[in-house]
Amino acid sequence: MKLLYTNENRLLVSNVKNIVECAGVEVTLRNEFSGGGVGELSTIDSWLELWVVSDEDYEKANDVIASSINADNAQGWFCSGCAEKNDASFDFCWNCQTEKNVD
């Protein structure tokens, strides 16, 4: 078993779990039920953790996550003029009208 992904935002971890499972990788969650009594735990101890069951799936799972995160980035762009974030459908910055910089 290998730790694949963890985040203090449990929704993000659940989301990644769904993505990886759809790609056919067997995964399991840890700290699934520790969210309630955070009192005595350090914050990081209560983070939801996503583990890959078979070590040989680890690289594949990482690739799946990386490509899904890249897809998220493709949904927007940052202006080269004022650094504001713009929707992917905008060709010009909403804030300063700088043209979208396509690398």
Nearer to Zn ion, 38 or 96 (CB): 96
Stretch that binds Zn ion, among 1-9, 11-19, 28-36, 79-87 (CB under 5 A): 79-87
CB count within 10 Å of CB 77 equals 19
Nearer to Zn ion, 33 or 90 (CB): 90
Q: Are 94 and 84 in contact (CB under 8 A)?
A: yes
Q: Is 98 in the site for Zn ion (CB under 5 A)?
A: yes
What's the CA gap between 58 and 10, in Å, rounded? 20
Phi and psi angles of residue 80, each rounded to the nearest 5 degrees, phi first: -80, -15
Nearer to Zn ion, 45 or 99 (CB): 99
What's the CA gap between 86 and 75, in Å, rounded? 9
Q: Which of 22, 66, 81, 99 binds Zn ion (CB under 5 A)?
A: 81
CB 98, min distance to Zn ion, A = 5
What's the CA gap between 68 and 76, in Å, rounded? 14
Stretch that binds Zn ion, among 2-10, 27-35, 60-68, 88-96 (CB under 5 A): 88-96
What residues make contact with Zn ion under the rule CB under 5 A? 79, 81-82, 84, 93, 95-96, 98
